[in-house]
Chains A and B, each alone.
Chain A
Amino acid sequence: MRGLGVSLGPVSDQLLIVLRVCLLALVYLVFFRVLRAVWVELRDEGASAGAAMTPTMAARRVSRPAPVPAPAAVGGGGPAPVDPASSSPAAARLVVVAPPSLAGHAFALDGETTIGRGAGCGVAINDAHVSKLHARVYPHEGTWFVEDLGSTNGTSVDGAPISAPTPIGAGGRISIGEIVMELA
């Protein structure tokens, strides 16, 4: 653009039309680049999310047909942090049975697992009646035990409130707040 402030005389309509179309094309070029940037970012995120999955996150992951990452507890071989392989009990999943909206979700038990509202818990439950660190489930000499970790509203095993580490067998039910989970 030369001659700032100088009148160019009558500008032809055709020229203005061409310039206007160019302007609109530029605007849409911006949108194209925005969408491409978002797309590239999403693609990279998807790629890194798969690679960055840690064992703890795998244990925390909830899905309808439970993933059961490596049968950690069957007989031996699982990387159970508390007790080495031989004493791990056979059951390895907590399945939510109530409330109905969550029923069917399953959490794989991989050694000691914490339950609570905090994001760092192995079984993270987003519920106001659940304490940040509510309870833990751990294997001991071939049996799973449930222990309340000083929660506000308490923990029940098979309907009875517990005050000390309590053994739980297959099919046993843990109630925390509104949530009931069954050991399977």
Chain B
Amino acid sequence: MTAVGARRGGVRPEIAARRPRRVELGLIVLIAIIVMAAYGLASLGTSASVPGNLGPFLAWMLGLFFFVHVAVRRLAPAADPVLLPMALLLNGIGYVMIARLGGDVAGGSDLAGLQSVWTAVGIGGFVSTLLLVPRVRSLAQYQYLLGLGGIGLLALPLLPVGVEINGARIWVSIGPVNFQPGEFAKIALALFFAAYLVDAGELIKNRLELRDLVPIAAAWGASVGVMVLERDLGSSMLVFAMFVVLMWVATARTMFLGLGAALFAAGGFVAFRLFAHVERRIDSWLDPWADPRDSGFQIIQATFSMAEGGLAGTGLGRGDPDRVPFAETDFIFAAIGEELGLAGTTAILMAFLILIGSGLRIALRATRPFEKLLAVGLTTLLGIQAFIIMAGVVRLIPLTGITLPFVSYGGSALVSNYVVLALLMRMSHEQRTTGDAEAPR
């Protein structure tokens, strides 16, 4: 078939399937240049020298980029071309900020070294997900296993293996390995909700009965449980928001958005009254200046930090973003705001918008309800998580400590977000190879 025939016909032969990868390669090359330049600039800014380990850094980064690109060419050649580059851009900028926050960029702080290892593990997770999941819809048959597994992972830190760090009991420590099982629970729960709502959503759409509200009540109960027992506000909000959005998408009833908001408000109010840590968060959101040295300190520092950045930032390595506590994880957005200014934070926002847009486009093009719901669920996870923490840092909503996907330091989060990305890429590839567009309805 000729190229013209390929464009006309419903079936997309290989010529058309190659194009996404060419676009992707172009973007990845540009992003490699950006990350390298940012790394060099950060070093020039802090110590006025080109980092001595620029060569090894470059080799490591180019090796990873090349590996993941070739893997996608092999495993999902027709997948969306912009998902992976956006993730790599966020990951790269985040890495440079983490290296820079460690002090001397070239000195290779502990966190930066770990983050580069985690990036490699994340990309390994991305490739193995593509390799192990040839068809996303085959995951639907494990729905109850995934649901139980997700809840189990969420509850795991409550067992003796869990450890409490910075007031939240969300870590599990087994031998030398520390990780946050909640990050992987999100994916398992997204798969479970999507599979469950394929059938349940249809029934609820037609006849709403009281017992149909049991699942939403259970999800609410679980997220309240997580909040109370592990004091992890972020994950609790995230899982609940994802469930409400999926209920809404599956049933086409706007009522569920209202119900979700009402339940959330009720839960939030009770938590505000009962738990000191929630009350502290809300108080320091409403008026951080009431207690500027303690509970309001972080958010005030972040505000000053971003104000200092202005429009184009102080320049990488030229600001003092390390004055904000947890600048590598929760507050990395403030660090970017200080050194790259509004232009830099807008870039981060745009990268997330493009990721979310591509994810929702996959959902729109999906023909099977399970894939549609799953794409919505996974995209919601990424989008809401990014929103919760960015809005928290700029004091639009009360702060909840979760990581900025792909950008913040954090192994579990990075790996799980790459797995989410791989599932989206896999669905996108399936859609474009079978050529099944959305059936008109």
Report which A residues bind B (CB closer than 8 A). 1, 3-11, 16-17, 19-24, 26-31, 33-35, 37-38, 44, 47-49, 51-52, 54, 57, 60-62, 119, 124, 126-129, 177-178
Contact = CB atoms under 8 A, between A and B. Distances in A.
A16 B354 CA distance: 29
B9 to A, nearest CB: 7
Contact of B82 (A5, A38, A129, A178): A38
Nearest to A23: B37
A29 B30 contact: yes
Interface stretch (B257-265, B340-348, B379-387): B340-348
For the residues of B in contact with A, the DSSP-based class is: helix
Contacts of A6: 49-50
B313 A20 contact: yes
B436 to A, nearest CB: 8
Nearest to B339: A20
B34 A30 contact: yes
B398 to A, nearest CB: 30
Given A4-B50, A10-B48, A34-B27, A52 B9 contact: yes
Contacts, number: 128
A23 B71 CA distance: 28
Helix, strand, loop or mixed for chain A's interface?
Answer: helix
Nearest to A36: B23
Contact of B315 (A20, A127, A178): A20
Q: How large is the interface on B (under 10, 10 to 19, 20 to 34, 35 or more residues)?
A: 35 or more
Contacts of B23: 33, 37
A60 B439 contact: yes
12 contacts: A16-B45, A19-B44, A20-B312, A20-B313, A28-B347, A30-B85, A31-B350, A48-B10, A62-B440, A119-B439, A128-B199, A177-B206
Contact of B441 (A19, A51, A62, A177): A62
Interface in B31-77: 31, 33-34, 37-38, 40-41, 44-45, 47-55
B425 interface: no
Given A24-B344, A52-B9, A178 B367 contact: no
Interface string B301-341: 00000000000110110100000000000000000000010
